Structure 1
Amino acid sequence: MPMPNRAVPASWQIQSDDWEYVPIKLPPDVTRVTASMRLAISAEFGGWELSRVRLYTDGSRRVLLKRRKTAQHVPDPEL
C-alpha cells in the first residue's frame, strides 16, 4: 500500500485550526473500486472523511482526507 504523499495541488487548502488533513497519492494501477474500499476503511477505523479527489490523465489519483482535530493522536492512514 502506498504511503501518504505530502505534496498537494496548490489550490488545496490544508491549514485549519479545527481539521487535520492527510494527502494520499493512489497509483494508476489502483482501480476505482479498490480505492473506494481503501478510503472506506480509513473512514471507518480512523475517522477520516473525503475532502477532495483529483484524477490525473495517467490514472493516478490525489486524495485529501480530513478529520476533526482531537486531543488524542491517531496515526495517519497507510493506504
Structure 2
Amino acid sequence: MAAAARRALKPGLEWEFDQHVLPREASRSAVTRYLVDLAETGGWELARLAIGNDGVRRIVVKRKIIRQQRQLYFLPV
C-alpha cells in the first residue's frame, strides 16, 4: 500500500487517491470482498483497476476530502 496522494480536479473539490497491488493468486471473490471492505470502512470508491499480463491487479481507489469551515464563536461581553 502506498501513501495516499491528494489532487484537486475542480476548484473546491479534492480527492484522495490510494494505490493497492493484489497478487495473481487472489481470487475474484477475495478482491471483491477487499474492495467492499475498503468502501464500507473508509469511504473509498474504485477509480481504476488494471490487470497486468502477469495477473497482478493494480487498483486505484479514491475518496472525497471534505473540508469544514472553521466556525468563529463570539462570546457576549
Please report the TM-score for the alignment, with normalisation by the length of structure 1: 0.69
8 Å contact kept, 1:5–1:25: no
Uncovered stretches (5+) of structure 1, i.e. residues with no partner: 7-13, 72-79
Structure 2 residue aligned with 1:35? 31
Residues 53-77 of structure 1: CA distance to partner in whole angstroms, max 9, x if unpaired? 0001221100000000135xxxxxx
SS in 2 for 1:35: helix
1:23 aligns with 2:19: yes
RMSD of aligned alpha carbons: 1.9
Alignment-mate amino acid for residue 22 of structure 1: D
Q: Which has the higher contact order (CA 8 A, sep 6+)?
A: 1
Q: Which 4+ residue blocks in structure 1 deviate beyond 6 angstroms?
A: none
Give the Cα–Cα distance (whole angstroms) in 1 for the partners of residues 45 and 24 of structure 2.
Answer: 22
1:27 shift after superposition: 0.7
Structure 1 residue aligned with 2:71? none
Aligned-residue identity in percent:
33
Alignment-mate amino acid for residue 16 of structure 1: R
Alignment-mate amino acid for residue 39 of structure 1: L
1:15 shift after superposition: 5.2
In the alignment, which of 45, 51, 67 is matched to residue 49 of structure 1? 45
User: Which has a greater percent of strand?
Assistant: 2
